[in-house]
Every structure is written in C-alpha cells, then in structure tokens.
Chains A and B, each alone.
Chain A
C-alpha cells in the first residue's frame, strides 16, 4: 500500500481531472467537436495512448471495472500495461470480458459485442484532425470546422476512387456526427464505423500529444462520408474465423509458415474466447497443434 500511496487516485491530481472532465463535458455537449485540453505528461510515451489514459483516469471511480484492448486483443503489450497501470494506481477491478466492463479503453477497435447503456468506450487517438493531411494549417482547419466547409474531405475520397476505383480508405474513415462535425474516428477499421451510429454507450476520444478531446454521446447519429454512386461499405471477409467459426466479425490474418499458409482469426480476442467456450469451433480451432504444422 505504501508503494501506491505516493500517487493520487488514478494517478492524475484532482485539479487536472477536473480540467479534463470539463473538456469531456463540453465535448459531449458538442458531439464531434474537438475540445482543447491541457494534456499532461504521462508515465508512458506518446503513441501508447496518453490521451486515452488521461480520459480514463479522469472518469474512473473505485467501483468501475476496466477493460483495455489493443487492436481488439486483451493480451498485447499496450493493453496489458495500461490495465496494470490502472490496477496499480486506482486499484480498480479489471476484466477482459466486454459485458462486465464499465469502462473500455481501446486502441483501434470497437468490441464485437454491442455495448450497452452505462458503458463508456475510451479511444486512444493519434491524430484527431480529419482534415490534417489535406490542409496542414490548423488555423484553416478550425475555420473549416466552424463554417462547416467539408468539401475537402470528399476530395480525399474522390482521389481514392480515381486511383483505386473505389474508396480505398480502410481505417480512420471520416464520419459526420449528428449532421454537423466531421470527425476522425481514430484509426479503427471502417468495419467498426456502423457500430458508432446510435450506440448506447458513451464514446470518448482522447488525443494526448495533440491536446484534444472529443466525444460521441449515446444515441447519436454517426454517418460515414461517401458518394451517391460510391456508397460506404465495410470490409467483407472470404472465410470465417479459423478458431471460432465466426463470420460478420473483423478478422486478422495470421501467417502460419513461409509457404503461404495463413489463417484468419477474430481480432476481438474476448469475443473469440467466449464463442469457443460456448462450443463454436472453426476450421483450425479443434487442435491447435495441428493448425501450427
């Protein structure tokens, strides 16, 4: 107990948490609008989710149950370290089960299981500005947001179609929130975009390096941008998950050998484990030893 007593609850001091909560409240009040906040140095490098960690630290309470995912997985370095961080500095209960969690901090995925009322999804965002690579001037992009000048966003989609014959943007696919602000949903695959629409959970986005927080409140309209003759589409996979047999989920390709062998597995590890526990088996799911050969 002495070791952690030198930290305030959830690491950040109370004044900082108040400041971040005010930014979060403003963000919720103006869905999709990027609210500046005074981002703090965190005991981890930028790119590891300092924005998400600050948001989580500001909203977490002793009764919360935390789940952290990184590319859908609960067991990768980023997820494990952030979970351990909060277990240490906030002594909260952690879980890998989506349904049990009250706060889910995520890097680049939305869990397959639909989120419910009372759950909060915290995204780690590297670049909050969807117009950044089209218009490098921050003064100009802010003006464009203010005046709702979003034609440029379609220039990017136009370029995609001109070059690839279809909209080739597969992640960080721009969305319009509640008919007003164009927002970068962080580098989640566009597969997850429809899950943001009318979600029952509160979605908070924290960009630590860029000092921005934005939010999508529950039951908010989130529409992916597209053209009339090139409508928005999500990714489709040829085969189901090799371990649990799930289709209609986002899959990762895993290389098995150097002779072209590969398998597709659920990116959401919790969803995959639960399905296998319930008896679902995929093509390679029966015998892991056999699959490895």
Chain B
C-alpha cells in the first residue's frame, strides 16, 4: 500500500452564490473507510456528489488512481470513460434503494446488469454470480426472480449493495446507507457492510448524520459544518476526544439509552 486511491484538492462547490462546500482536501487510501458527518445542510451530500462526479464542482480537483495506475482528474474524463468508471470500479449506494435499483426487473437482473454492461453474455454465468451475491448479502436464493418492489426496506438496501459490488469495485460511495431503516435492521446491515468492506478490501466514503454508523464502519472521519470541514481524524479520536466546540456538541447530543 504505497499510494492513495483518491486525492481531493481544494474542492469547492457553489450553487450560484450559495455555498455547497468549500476547500475540501483529503486523501483516501485503498481499503479505508471515511465517514463524513455533520448536520443537515452542512454540505455532506454536495461533497459526496461532487466526489462521485454526479455534480461538477465550481473549482478544485479530484484525482483518482485508475486500475492502470494512472492518476486522472475525474472531471476531465470523457463522459464515456466516467460512466464506465462509475459502473465498474465504483459503486454508489443511495439512501433510498429505489434510486439505485431497477424496481421493475428481478433481483437477479438487478445484480446482473453491471455484468451485462461490461459485456458478459453468458446467462448461466450471470445467474450464478447473481445467486452468489444474493447469498453474500443474505437474500434467500428463491427470491432471485422477484422484483425489489416485493422486498422489505432492509432487503432492498442489501440488494442495492450486491448490485454495486458485483463488478468488484475499489471505491464505494454511500449516502446514509442505513437511513430509513429500523434499528435492528440497521444493525444487521452495518454488520454486513463491515464484513464486506473488510473482506473485499473496499475503500468507502460514507455520508451519515448518525455517529454510531461512523463509529462502527469508518476508520477516519471528517466533520462538516456550513460547507467546510472543521475537524478530521481517526474516528475513535474524533468521537472520544472532539476538539472543536461544534464536534463536542455533536458528540454530546447523542441520545444515551
């Protein structure tokens, strides 16, 4: 592990004159999970969307080390290259699974779509891979031909994860992956995610307002407020010994049961 995977330099996004996020700098290493926390409106999602090339930032660069070891600024990739990168080497797990899934095709086809997009034309192989991945995200094999519409929220979220991981991406973006799930389902999903991330050596950037999610999943975290990163460091350090007053407030406002 000699080089980072992603290098973000002075990333700034304005919506007209309104600030989305400003002057974000960080590096992400292979296999590392970074959490971005902060309250609503602090610029977390803007930052995530800019990093994942969903939004074009107003200034700054995001450099990504491609599979051929070339560093490329993702905003200067051609659209074809960017879309290929997004559906092979990256994954994006949306908060609402309906945004990331095709709700009207079966679970198997949802998982297989990325394989077919990169040219797999063998039905038996696609189906076998889909079955394998459904198993890994704990979805029963006999649900493979069911549409995600008939799935519970937790199952949909797990299906979305399988769909993203099937091409063996190196970097996964997650936007509130446990939002909207009840706590026991959240716990199970977190457990699964932690297992997969460790097993596959994935790098991940997780946006969340839930500090418990950050604590469980991430190695490092960044705290955002008003579009700026106000504190960054190892997750345990930031949560146990917050330095900024705002972070202290955030940590102390966690409900204790």
Contact = CB atoms under 8 A, between A and B. Distances in A.
A159 B123 contact: no
Query: Binding site of B, secondary structure by majority: helix, strand, loop or mixed?
Result: helix
Query: Binding site of A, secondary structure by majority: helix, strand, loop or mixed?
Result: helix
B140 to A, nearest CB: 16
B113 A230 contact: no
Interface in A140-190: 143, 147, 149, 151-152, 154-156, 158-159, 161-163
B221 interface: no
A230 B112 CA distance: 16
A228 interface: yes
A277 B108 CA distance: 53
Contacts of A155: 102, 105, 109, 112-113, 116
Contact of B123 (A152, A156, A163, A227): A227
Contact of A159 (B109, B114, B119): B109
A242 B124 CA distance: 40
A161 B117 contact: no
Given A162-B108, A162-B145, A151 B123 contact: no
A163 B105 CA distance: 11
Contact of B116 (A143, A154, A161, A230): A154
Contacts of B79: 143, 147
Contacts of B121: 154, 226-228
A230 B118 CA distance: 18
B175 to A, nearest CB: 21
A110 to B, nearest CB: 26
A230 B127 CA distance: 13
A55 B148 CA distance: 43
Contacts of A143: 79
B44 to A, nearest CB: 27
16 contacts: A134-B102, A147-B79, A151-B113, A151-B114, A151-B117, A151-B118, A155-B102, A155-B113, A158-B112, A161-B123, A162-B106, A162-B127, A162-B145, A226-B121, A227-B122, A228-B121
Interface of A: 134, 143, 147, 149, 151-152, 154-156, 158-159, 161-163, 226-230
Interface of B: 79-80, 83, 102, 105-106, 108-109, 112-114, 116-119, 121-124, 126-127, 144-145
Given A143-B79, A151-B117, 16 more contacts: A134-B102, A147-B83, A151-B119, A152-B113, A154-B116, A154-B121, A155-B102, A155-B116, A158-B112, A158-B126, A162-B106, A162-B108, A162-B109, A162-B144, A162-B145, A228-B121
Nearest first, the 4 closest Cβ-Cβ pairs linking A and B are A151-B117, A151-B116, A154-B116, A227-B123
